[in-house]
């Protein structure tokens, strides 16, 4: 331990730490560009220069270990002057294209320029010109002029992704970031360099020029791309998801997420093929190439139809398919409904891509809630052959009705053939797919981007998702959404405030409606009611509540089958 | 005074001649001593590094950990890229075995098994000469397994740089040896703890190591009597610029700068007056021609004169020299050679050059001089390595001592930045 003083504040701290670590831990802000808690110390930006008593020169807070008796000043005139000087140096060759720069609004250089810079440049020469549009890889675009050579991206590729693809070439103010000869920035984590980039040098080729940062709301949620459940922020403008960025959770994904999750888990929310309202197959309406033969109806009609159809079958004639894409709450109520009907044929599908995993984040299991489905009631019937038995019985004609939530078993042509034999087939789905084509009733369910709920990741960590996109029944202002400036202050006729809304409901709510239409008296007004019931009835969820789950989630109280390996050994 | 490093012996670079003249005797003597005693001998001799920083060599050696499971390394720094400096080149050419012998003794003293000699890439000819000497030393078992029948084994590799000034900075040198970009490292950790490949490493200049056999042969007491007491020994002064006989002169430390110029280098070309002298390589602070009288060439004396001994590379400029052009050229050099890693040096060096160029074009103003000084001050002391300081010092000292040069050349007409009066409006009477 070391006793040190920072800006007059006396602290007793671990002497293995550096000044910047200690300062940040104790709420003393020291500006930094190149320093990052998970990357090696580069010491190149020099913005974290601080004064230490008895040291002849200013020292960089990121590389200076604390020692007993050290007296640090982070705002002395010398420090303020050095900071201004560093800002001036950084800006002399930096292009003044903030008005068209994606980073504006979340740019460290911009923020520090407002905070620590004089606001006037004494540099009246032509700036050094460098390439403005370099395709570093499939997902990342580089503007070399904006780069401040902090080397965060280089160190991330070397140290975290273990793919040394980036390098600096040239010297002095002609230094340029580039890829090694014959290399592309194309590893599975390449887009983390965009988040790390303190300026607008590295931008997302997917998100580029789509929105200004302040026009979007950001919602704390969880990626459904695989069983890791990376914590992330969902950025929405005009009721449209525009990008996803990782959110810090040291227990799950640290500061990172993979490119696959970032790019592929939100597009279907905005997609054209969204099911915008409940659909029923009606006699006399023929299916053709452009039309599935389903017609839009109101919720009451659709739910009445499902209830009356389910009533017309014996319990052994019905089967149910849970979903590892749906939340704990959805699956819990589904199993509860099946139990109410006496249905024993319940299964769920695994979605594994063998070999598509690594020891960083990516898991072979491509569903966010596999563990959760098994925890909330399906433990006995999950043996892998459950679904095969159900299919065989459909083929034999003993199972005549099937209830599927939020999955696409019809994607397998062999299975689709079997499903076509059903007398009654009801599906909860958010998008048109091979399964909805075969269904008699399609209940338009909300995506994970439109509802509250929880997923249980492979470690057994129960984590909350939160709605970022509104549906017909929701109102941003009333339903506790994260708000953008436009949400708060935009006029009603502001065109950015307009956006398509689906008449979709979360699966748990649809199930409550169906159960109540069947005579049950479920009183789940909110998904939190469902979760509280799970917590009260399921041993491994005991003691949990939405409040306690917070932003980092909680571990199940069971022996963890999959030992959570630290992300960075 | 007897020449120690570069004695006037023909063909001394040949190993037979070197041996005949007492070469490798110091190594034999050292191998009979305890390694710590060798370090002690060098410590007492007060030998100080010849690479520019004048750090006590024996003390540096003593920083190497005694107990370690890691291999230890010695890097001999022959990158010699400071403008005005060409002394190590002379050692490679005329007395390479003295350096090799010194390096082996140093390795023995520190328990090093591997020596890397990093030679400036442009020294193509001298690398060949050095390699010949190294090969000969191997052939005679001064290098290699169990040298001279002892239990001590030592390897020496010579490595050719790729043409970057920054690779003469000791930590960039190590990165370059490792195959990385020549970026200086953040210190601490210092090389003795965490150097080449993370192992304990000492980096010594070529000339420094060449002094070691002399100290071992003649003893520390004899050596410490030579020249200035706090900075003893001889130096290879490299004199260039407007002198009649430019070249390398081996003389004791503490020699008068004026003696060096007038007595040894044959005086100023055409008997002109001296306008300015850079005493220790292009990064050291400038002296005016009228302040060189009585200035002695050793670390302490030059420090007192507001400059530094550096590498002992003296650049003499006569009264007709366009010294502003020289300063601009020096600044261009540091701009060109800045590795680009840390902000103040990367951005500031180019800025300084741009301001100086504006003066050469006749467009500079006295506000520009204040700005130039401010930029230099903002670089100095705020960078990862000393290149930032090296770029700032000449500018700072020039402004201090030759402000009149700027005044003389500053633009007399009003600056373009000032608002121009609108043209007179003429009303036509109809």
Separation of alpha carbons A73 and A26, rounded Å:
14
Q: What is the pLDDT of residue B415?
A: 55
DSSP H helices, A158-254, are 192-196
At A497, the pLDDT band (50, 70, 90 cuts) reads: confident
* Partner A contacted by B184 (CB < 8 A): no
Nearest by CB to residue A58, choosing from B342, B382, B384, is: B382
**For the segment A63-103, what is each residue's pLDDT rounded down to a tens digit?**
999 999 999 999 999 999 999 999 999 999 999 899 999 99
Q: A288 pLDDT exceeds 60?
A: no
Q: Render the burial of A212-225: b for 16+ CB within 10 Å, e for the rest.
A: ebebbbbbbbbbbb
For residue A519, give Cα distances in angstroms to A311, A522, A526. 11, 9, 20
Hey, where are the domains in chain A? Answer: 2-91, 279-555
Establish, for the pair of chains A and B, how many residue pairs have beta carbons separated by less than 8 Å.
88
The pLDDT-based confidence of A561 (bands split at 50, 70, 90) is: low
pLDDT above 50 (res A563): no
User: Positive or negative CA dihedral for A79, A13, A552, A476?
Assistant: negative
Output the pLDDT for position A566: 43
Q: Is A362 on the interface with B (CB under 8 A)?
A: no
Per-chain mean pLDDT for chain A: 93
pLDDT at A556 over 60: yes
B341 to A45: CB separation less than 8 angstroms, yes or no = no
Please name the residues between 307 and 336 in chain B that touch chain A, using a CB distance below 8 Å. Answer: 335-336
Q: Is the pLDDT score of B117 beyond 90?
A: yes
A contacts of B392 (beta carbons < 8 Å) = none
A34 touches chain B (CB under 8 A): no
Lowest-confidence pick of A277-286, A305-314, A499-508, B386-395: A277-286
Q: What pLDDT score does B314 carry?
A: 98
Cβ of A66 under 8 Å from any chain B Cβ? no
Q: Tell me: pLDDT of B10 over 60.
A: yes
Cβ–Cβ gap A49/B382 under 8 Å: yes
Has residue A568 got a pLDDT over 90?
no
**Is A150 part of the contact surface with chain B (CB cutoff 8 Å)?**
no
The predicted pLDDT at position A287 comes to 56
Phi, psi of B158 (to 5 degrees): -105, 135
Q: How far is B16 from chain A (nearest CA, A)?
A: 45
Mean pLDDT value across residues B198-220: 98
Cis peptide before B25 (omega within 30 of 0): no
Closest Cα in chain A, distance from residue B360 (Å): 15
User: Which pLDDT band holds residue A395 (cuts at 50, 70, 90)?
Assistant: very high
Whether residue A123 lies within 8 A of chain B, CB to CB, comes out as yes
Residue (of B163, B33, B27) closest to B98 by Cα position: B27
Q: Which residue of A has its CA nearest to B356?
A: A125
Residue of B336, B346, B381 lying closest to A175 (CB–CB): B346
Do A2-91 and A279-555 agree at the fold level? no
Is the minimum CB–CB distance between B378 and chain A shorter than 8 Å?
A: yes
Which parts of A342-481 fold into alpha helices (H)? 370-373, 386-396, 413-419
B218 contact A CB<8A: no
Mean pLDDT of A382-399: 84
DSSP string, A284-328: T----SS--SEEE--HHHHHHHHHHHHHTS-GGGEEEE--TTS-H
Specify the CATH number of the domain A279-555.
Answer: 3.40.50.740
As a whole number, mean pLDDT of residues A421-426 equals 96
Residues A103-136 pLDDT 10s: 999 999 999 999 998 878 899 999 999 999 999 9
Nearest to B186 among A43, A85, A173 (CB): A43
Asked if the C-beta of A18 comes within 8 angstroms of chain B's C-beta atoms, the answer is no
- Closest CA–CA distance from residue B202 to any residue of chain A (Å): 22
Chain A residues touching residue B335 (CB < 8 angstroms): 172-173
pLDDT at A223: 98
d(CA B179, CA B186): 18
Residues A128, B371: C-beta atoms closer than 8 Å? no
Interchain proximity A172–B339, CB inside 8 Å: yes
Two tokens, residue B418: 């000032």
Using the predicted structure, report yes or no on whether residue A381 has a pLDDT greater than 60: no
Fold designation for A2-91: Ubiquitin-like (UB roll) (3.10.20)
Q: Nearest by CB to A172, which of B350, B378, B384?
A: B350
Residues A55-62: what's their mean pLDDT?
96
- Cα three-residue angle A117-A121-A127, rounded to 5 degrees: 120
With CA atoms as reference, report the closest residue to A365 among A532, A487, A163, A226: A226
Judge: A89–B384 Cβ closer than 8 Å, yes or no. Answer: no
Which of B163, B176, B331, B346 is most worth mutating to test chain A (most A CB atoms within 10 A of its CB)?
Answer: B346
B340 vs chain A: nearest CA distance in angstroms? 4
Arithmetic mean of pLDDT, A524-541? 95
pLDDT at B425: 53
Evaluate if pTM is beyond 0.90: yes
């Amino acid at each position: 331990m070391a006793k040190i003083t920072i800006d007059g504040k006396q602290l007793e701290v671990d002497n293995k730490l550096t000044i910047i670590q200690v300062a940040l831990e104790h709420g003393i802000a020291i500006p930094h560009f190149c320093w990052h808690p998970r990357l090696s110390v580069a010491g190149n930006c020099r913005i974290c220069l601080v004064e230490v008593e008895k040291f002849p020169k200013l020292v960089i807070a990121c590389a200076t270990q604390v020692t007993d008796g050290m007296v640090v000043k982070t705002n002395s005139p010398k420090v303020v002057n050095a900071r201004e000087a560093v800002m001036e140096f950084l800006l002399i060759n930096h292009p003044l294209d903030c008005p068209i720069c994606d980073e504006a609004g979340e740019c460290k250089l911009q923020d520090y320029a407002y905070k620590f810079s004089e606001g006037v440049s004494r540099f009246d020469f032509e700036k050094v010109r460098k390439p403005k549009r370099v395709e570093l890889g499939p997902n990342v675009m580089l503007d070399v002029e904006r780069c401040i050579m902090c080397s965060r991206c280089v160190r991330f590729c070397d140290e975290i992704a273990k793919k040394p693809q980036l390098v600096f070439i040239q010297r002095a103010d002609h230094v340029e970031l580039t890829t090694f000869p014959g290399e592309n920035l194309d590893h599975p984590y390449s887009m983390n360099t965009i988040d790390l980039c303190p300026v607008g040098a590295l931008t997302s080729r997917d998100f580029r020029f789509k929105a200004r940062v302040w026009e979007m709301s950001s919602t704390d949620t969880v990626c459904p791309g695989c069983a890791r459940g990376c914590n992330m922020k969902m950025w929405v403008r005009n009721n449209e998801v525009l990008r996803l960025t990782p959110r810090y959770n040291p227990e799950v994904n640290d500061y990172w997420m993979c490119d696959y999750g970032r790019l592929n888990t939100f597009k279907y929310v905005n997609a054209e093929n969204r099911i915008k309202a409940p659909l029923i197959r009606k006699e006399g309406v023929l299916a053709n190439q452009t039309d599935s033969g389903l017609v839009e109806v109101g919720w009451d009609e659709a739910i009445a139809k499902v209830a009356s159809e389910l009533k017309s079958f014996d319990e052994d004639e019905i089967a149910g398919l849970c979903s590892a894409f749906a939340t704990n709450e959805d699956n819990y109520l589904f199993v509860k409904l099946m139990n109410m009907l006496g249905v024993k044929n319940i299964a769920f599908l695994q979605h594994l891509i063998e070999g598509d995993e690594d020891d960083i984040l990516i898991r072979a299991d491509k569903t966010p809630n596999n563990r959760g489905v098994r925890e909330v009631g399906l433990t006995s019937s999950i043996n892998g052959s459950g679904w095969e038995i159900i299919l065989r019985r459909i083929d034999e004609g003993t199972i005549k009705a099937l209830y599927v939530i939020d999955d696409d078993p019809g994607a397998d042509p062999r299975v689709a053939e079997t499903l076509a034999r059903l007398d009654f087939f009801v599906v909860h789905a958010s998008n048109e797919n091979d399964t909805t084509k075969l269904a008699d009733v399609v209940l338009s369910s909300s995506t994970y981007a439109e509802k509250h709920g929880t997923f249980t990741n492979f470690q057994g960590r129960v984590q909350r998702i939160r709605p970022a996109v509104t549906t017909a029944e929701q109102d941003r202002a009333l339903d506790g959404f994260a708000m953008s400036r436009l949400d708060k202050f935009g006029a009603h006729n502001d065109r950015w405030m307009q956006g398509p809304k689906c008449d979709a409901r979360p699966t748990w709510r649809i199930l409550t409606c169906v159960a109540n239409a069947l005579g049950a008296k479920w009183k789940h007004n909110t998904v939190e009611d469902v979760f509280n019931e799970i917590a009260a009835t399921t041993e491994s969820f005991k003691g949990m509540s939405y409040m306690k789950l917070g932003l980092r989630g909680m571990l199940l109280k069971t022996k963890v089958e999959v030992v959570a390996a630290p992300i960075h050994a | 005074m007897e020449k120690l490093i570069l004695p006037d012996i023909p063909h001394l670079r040949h190993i037979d001649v070197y041996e005949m003249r007492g070469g490798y005797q110091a190594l034999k003597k050292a191998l009979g001593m305890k390694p710590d005693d060798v370090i002690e001998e060098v410590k007492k001799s007060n030998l100080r590094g010849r690479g520019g920083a004048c750090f006590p060599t024996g003390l540096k050696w003593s920083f190497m950990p005694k107990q370690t499971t890691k291999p230890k390394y010695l890097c001999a720094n022959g990158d010699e890229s400071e403008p005005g400096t060409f002394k190590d080149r002379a050692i490679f050419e005329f007395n390479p075995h003295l350096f090799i012998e010194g390096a082996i003794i140093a390795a023995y003293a520190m328990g090093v098994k591997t020596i890397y000699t990093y030679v400036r890439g442009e020294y193509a000819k001298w690398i060949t000469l050095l390699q010949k000497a190294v090969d000969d030393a191997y052939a005679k078992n001064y290098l290699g397994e169990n040298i001279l029948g002892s239990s001590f084994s030592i390897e020496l590799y010579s490595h050719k740089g790729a043409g970057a000034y920054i690779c003469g900075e000791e930590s960039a040198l190590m990165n370059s040896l490792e195959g990385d970009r020549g970026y200086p490292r953040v210190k601490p950790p210092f090389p003795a703890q965490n150097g080449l490949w993370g192992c304990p490493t000492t980096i010594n200049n070529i000339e420094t190591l060449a002094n070691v056999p002399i100290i071992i042969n003649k003893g520390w007491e004899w050596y410490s009597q030579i020249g200035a007491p706090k900075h003893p020994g001889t130096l290879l002064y490299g004199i260039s610029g407007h002198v009649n006989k430019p070249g390398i002169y081996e003389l004791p430390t503490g020699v008068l700068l004026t003696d060096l110029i007038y007595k040894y280098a044959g005086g100023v070309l055409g008997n002109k007056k001296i306008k300015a002298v850079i005493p220790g390589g292009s990064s050291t602070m400038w002296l005016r021609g009228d302040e060189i009288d009585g200035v002695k060439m050793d670390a302490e004396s030059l420090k007192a004169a507001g400059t530094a001994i550096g590498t002992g590379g003296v650049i003499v400029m006569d009264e007709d020299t366009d010294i502003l052009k020289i300063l601009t050229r020096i600044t261009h050099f540091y701009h060109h050679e800045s590795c680009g890693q840390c902000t103040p040096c990367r951005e500031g060096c180019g800025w300084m050059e741009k301001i100086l160029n504006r003066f050469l074009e006749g467009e500079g103003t006295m506000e520009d001089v204040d700005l130039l000084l401010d930029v230099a001050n903002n670089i100095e002391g705020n960078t990862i390595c000393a290149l930032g300081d090296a770029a700032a010092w000449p500018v700072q000292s020039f402004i201090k001592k030759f402000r009149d040069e700027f005044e003389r050349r500053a633009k007399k007409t009003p600056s373009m930045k000032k608002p121009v009066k609108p043209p007179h409006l003429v009303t036509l009477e109809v």
